[in-house]
């Protein structure tokens, strides 16, 4: 049975169902602020128990959806146990407020953006600040997100590809501006999970939202993969999931897409041969760095 962590955009705000204790490991969770572009920006940094300051650690950003708050999003998508197991620094940034709702600007300055907040600059500043205090592997900085946060992850993959090694999207797509004009400076591996019954960000697109098949084609072209993906069918309980893998001529997987039949606008709580959404995302992202694949997939 597929149980979804219901991050429903009710009233364009995000509601999260708790999956983890908010107070877990408080001594390794740091609520931090920095000043950028005239705004006080906030983020939560989680440092895994294994961090000893001697080795460089990967850094993963996870961006909430429109109207989201870090505390609720953390409870619903908690990657801290995975960070402890896989040894990476984890960041949950807070979007800037807009008429009472937090958001991310997921395109270059245009009508598609919600405000003038410099979110790309905020990410750059977080990387610099965290790297000043911790040993971060600069070749292994990753970004993923849900809904509006996934939109932003795609944008990061387009305009900050010299810093972001790979990206992940759950229930998100690319804004038209990014889809038409995005030009990553290098191959950017991408993993995408999306439900066919998503009524907020429809799988087949509407209202200027790019259809998921076009998103896959965009990244297949950027990553120079074969146009025909390899497919594998799974079941998570009674829910059917199809995985599409786009590989290059050497067999390196640059894109993974999980098509969840009947899935809605949620962060999926899947069980695919023992892997949930968090692990699927990390396993894919961590297989790449700025130089390309780290191991054969």
| Confidence at residue 12, expressed as pLDDT on a 0 to 100 scale | 31
| Confidence at residue 100, expressed as pLDDT on a 0 to 100 scale | 86
Does residue 135 or residue 14 have the better pLDDT?
Answer: 135
| Confidence at residue 111, expressed as pLDDT on a 0 to 100 scale | 56
| Confidence at residue 144, expressed as pLDDT on a 0 to 100 scale | 99
Judge whether residue 19 has pLDDT over 60.
no
* pTM score, whole prediction: 0.90
| Confidence at residue 16, expressed as pLDDT on a 0 to 100 scale | 30
Does residue 226 or residue 21 have the better pLDDT?
Answer: 226
Mean pLDDT of 186-194: 98
Judge whether residue 7 has pLDDT over 60.
no
Pairwise CA distance, residues 196 & 201, whole Å: 10
| Confidence at residue 108, expressed as pLDDT on a 0 to 100 scale | 66
Pairwise CA distance, residues 248 & 187, whole Å: 11
The per-residue pLDDT of the chain, averaged, comes to: 89
| Confidence at residue 52, expressed as pLDDT on a 0 to 100 scale | 93
- Closest by CA position to 173, among listed 144, 211, 199, 200: 211
Per-residue confidence at 177, pLDDT binned at 50, 70, 90? confident
Per-residue confidence at 6, pLDDT binned at 50, 70, 90? very low
| Listed range (166-175, 202-211, 278-287) with the worst mean pLDDT | 202-211
Judge whether residue 272 has pLDDT over 60.
yes
The domain total for the chain is: 1
| Listed range (94-108, 145-159, 237-251, 282-296) with the worst mean pLDDT | 94-108
Give the residue numbers spanning the domain of 274: 3-293
Judge whether residue 21 has pLDDT over 50.
no
Query: For position 77, which CATH number holds?
Result: 3.40.50.1820
Per-residue confidence at 17, pLDDT binned at 50, 70, 90? very low
The strand pair at 101-103 and 96-98 is best described as antiparallel
- What are the structure tokens assigned to 294, written together? 């780290």
| Confidence at residue 224, expressed as pLDDT on a 0 to 100 scale | 96
pLDDT digits (tens, 9 = 90+) for 35-53: 999 999 999 999 999 999 9
- Closest by CA position to 114, among listed 89, 139, 97: 97
Pairwise CA distance, residues 295 & 196, whole Å: 31
| Confidence at residue 18, expressed as pLDDT on a 0 to 100 scale | 29
Q: Which residues contact 105 (CB under 8 A, 6 or more apart)?
A: 113, 114, 115, 117, 118, 119, 152, 155
């Amino acid at each position: 049975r597929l149980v979804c962590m219901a991050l429903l955009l009710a009233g364009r705000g995000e509601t999260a169902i708790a999956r983890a204790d908010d107070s877990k490991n408080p001594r390794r969770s740091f609520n931090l602020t920095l000043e950028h572009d005239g705004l006080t920006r906030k983020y939560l940094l989680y440092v895994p128990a294994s961090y000893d300051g001697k080795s460089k650690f990967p850094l993963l950003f996870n961006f909430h959806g429109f109207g989201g708050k870090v505390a609720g999003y953390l409870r619903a998508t908690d990657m801290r146990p995975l960070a402890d197991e896989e040894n990476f620094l984890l960041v949950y940034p807070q979007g800037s407020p807009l008429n009472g709702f937090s958001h991310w600007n997921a395109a270059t300055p245009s009508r598609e953006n919600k405000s003038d907040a410099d979110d790309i600059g905020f990410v750059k500043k977080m990387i610099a600040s965290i790297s000043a205090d911790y040993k971060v592997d600069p070749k292994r900085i990753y970004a993923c997100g849900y809904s509006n946060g996934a939109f932003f992850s795609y944008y990061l993959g387009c305009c900050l590809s010299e810093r972001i090694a790979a990206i992940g999207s759950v229930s998100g797509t690319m804004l038209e501006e990014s889809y038409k004009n995005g030009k990553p400076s290098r191959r950017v591996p991408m993993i995408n999970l999306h439900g066919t019954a998503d009524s907020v960000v429809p799988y087949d697109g509407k209202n200027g939202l790019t259809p998921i098949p076009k998103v896959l084609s965009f990244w297949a072209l950027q990553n120079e993969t074969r146009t025909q993906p390899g497919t594998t069918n799974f079941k998570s309980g009674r829910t059917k999931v199809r995985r599409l893998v786009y590989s290059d001529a050497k067999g390196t997987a640059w894109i993974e897409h999980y098509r969840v039949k009947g899935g809605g606008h949620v962060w999926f709580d899947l069980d695919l041969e023992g892997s949930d959404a968090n692990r699927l995302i990390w396993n894919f992202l961590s297989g790449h760095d700025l130089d390309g694949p780290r191991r054969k997939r």
